Amino acid sequence: MNIKALLLYLTKAVLFGLVMAAVFLGATSIINGDGFGSNLTGNNHSSKTLSFAAAVRKAAPAVVNIYSLSIAEDQPLNSGSLQGLGSGVIMSKEGYILTNYHVIKKADEIVVALQDGRKYTSEVVGSDPETDLTVLKIDGDNLPVVPLNLLTPVQVGDVVLAIGNPYNIGQTITQGIISATGRNGLSSGYLDFLQTDAAINAGNSGGALIDTDGELVGINTAAFQVGGEASGNGISFAIPIKLAHSIMGKLIKNGRVIRGAIGVSGEALSPVLAQILNLPNQKGVVVTGVDPTGPAARAQLRARDVIIAYENEEVPGVEMLMDRIAETPPDSRVTLTIIREGKVQALPVVIAEKPLPE
């Protein structure tokens, strides 16, 4: 064999060896989940991006367990037993905690347990049954505080995590999306619920609903029930943080929420009603009832009047009108723009304070 033939033989052998090595390395990558094979298996930790661990680490320490302390009269004080009630969220370093009113309304003494093992007896700063919110206060040092962002609106499709203490088994995280916003009518009409398919079970009430940045977007409050049973329908509700934060400020300041009222009920102006009343515009609220002892009656507002503006702000529906009235301080003088018998007129009304629910 001459030198030229020998070199050709060696070259082919080397090339064959390189090709087989490449095939072997590629197969090994697919089996082990390395390199280009990681896109198929998803086992490579460096390429795993769908994790909410960072968000949970930010928010979870500020989500507390709430218990009722039951003490038998014929036993010593330290023999009391704790009964799980629900969850809460530490909102400030001063120790203010947001939870649901229905979580604590029957409790005589409330104990708050942090995730680091600390326990505190809390006081009730104030409650608002209309929005099902209560503010508690504990005295502690270096309290974890939940991150929140009041400026970024929650959108349908956003991924959210519910944090709480379901069935008193310990802190649990469930995941879902925001499936709807603006769900009202479930309580007093002041709520603007977030709807989510993240599981919210007994004990989750008062806990945190957070986004993937770990920021608080709502206070978990209810699960959809059929026949009195929460049967895993994937429909749960949370109070938006913007509303909850506003209510918290009022409870801290006054111990209660002071709302305005004028003593009127109404319904949205529908196309049929607009035609019956001979109105060109289909926006407004038709007055259906007037409390004879309330401010609306004193201002001579009548049934079948159509309220089209509140303090020169257009009224698109009942919820907006009732919210504006509720947010107006009592004794304020406001102007309702109405249509009566086809004529537009301004009607001054003095706001009264809405009575507390019995």
Residues assigned a catalytic role: 102, 132, 205
Bridge partners (DSSP) of residue 17 are none
Q: Which token pair is 276?
A: 């019956």
Assign 141 to helix, strand or coil.
coil
Q: Which token pair is 251?
A: 């409870």
Burial class of residue 218 (count of CB atoms within 10 Å of its CB; 0-12, 13-18, 19+): buried
Identify the CA nearest to 27 among candidates 39, 15, 17, 35. 35
| Cα end-to-end distance, the chain, whole Å | 109
- Element at 272 (helix H, strand E): helix 271-276
Identify the CA nearest to 90 among candidates 54, 70, 66, 72. 66
What one-character-per-residue DSSP string does 285-309 give? EEEEEE-TTSHHHHTT--TT-EEEE
Q: Which token pair is 61?
A: 């320490």
C-alpha span between 279 and 281 (Å, rounded): 6
C-alpha span between 174 and 316 (Å, rounded): 37
Neighbours of 126 (CB within 10 A): 20
C-alpha span between 192 and 181 (Å, rounded): 7
Q: What are phi and psi of 300, to 5 degrees?
A: 70, 30
